């Protein structure tokens, strides 16, 4: 796949083809998602590549996966979910971003049917700061936040 191409190009030219790779393993159990991301990040770290990973379920339908019927609480990551990602990946490399679930939904939806909570991203940072002593240790992807107001995005940024 793409990572193999990156490794081959890097071996020959001393630089990667790409600056990052995204893994969407959000349909997998969290532990398995993190374990697979660890394997990829170990291969990516020598090339100084960034890994984007998704944690939590995105509602709606994408790529044949239908999450339109999941319970609403499944659409929100928890501070513990995101900290588990940090604990699993940070010892390997700091070059990773997390697309945390904050009510994100793929596709078009009627107003009022989805409750985006981008402020959760700020709450996750605070949780991790208290655990690690590091200010804003996470790099987040604002994934599926269309429709968020400017003040909500500012809150998410801390």
* 53-73: pLDDT as tens digits: 999 876 655 556 555 555 666
Within 10 angstroms of residue 139's Cβ, the number of other Cβ atoms is: 12
With a pLDDT cut of 70, the percent of the chain lying above it is 75
Band the pLDDT of 74: cuts 50, 70, 90.
Answer: confident
Taking all residues of the chain, what is their mean pLDDT, rounded to a whole number? 85
Mean pLDDT, residues 70-78? 76
pLDDT on residue 26: 83
Is 58 within 8 Å of 75 (Cβ atoms)?
yes
Token pair 């790779």 is at which residue? 21
Nearest to 59 by CA among 48, 44, 76, 75: 75
pLDDT above 80: residue 121: yes
Question: What is the C-alpha separation between 81 and 102, in angstroms, rounded?
Answer: 12
pLDDT on residue 117: 86
pLDDT on residue 59: 61
Band the pLDDT of 137: cuts 50, 70, 90.
Answer: very high
Question: What is the C-alpha separation between 151 and 155, in angstroms, rounded?
Answer: 6
Question: What is the C-alpha separation between 155 and 158, in angstroms, rounded?
Answer: 5
Band the pLDDT of 138: cuts 50, 70, 90.
Answer: very high
pLDDT on residue 69: 58
């Amino acid at each position: 796949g793409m990572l193999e191409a990156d490794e081959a190009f890097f071996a020959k030219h001393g630089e990667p083809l790409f600056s990052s790779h995204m893994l969407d393993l959000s349909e997998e159990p969290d532990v398995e998602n993190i374990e697979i991301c660890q394997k990829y990040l170990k291969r990516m770290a020598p090339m100084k590549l960034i890994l984007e990973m998704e944690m939590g379920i995105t509602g709606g339908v994408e790529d044949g996966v239908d999450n339109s019927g999941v319970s609403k609480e499944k659409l929100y990551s928890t501070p513990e979910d995101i900290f588990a990602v940090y604990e699993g990946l940070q010892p390997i490399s700091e070059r990773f971003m997390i697309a945390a679930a904050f009510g994100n939904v793929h596709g078009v939806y009627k107003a009022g049917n989805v409750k985006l909570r981008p402020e959760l991203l700020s709450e996750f940072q605070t949780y991790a700061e208290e655990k690690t002593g590091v200010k804003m240790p996470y790099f987040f992807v604002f994934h599926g936040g269309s429709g968020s107001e400017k003040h909500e995005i500012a809150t998410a940024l801390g």
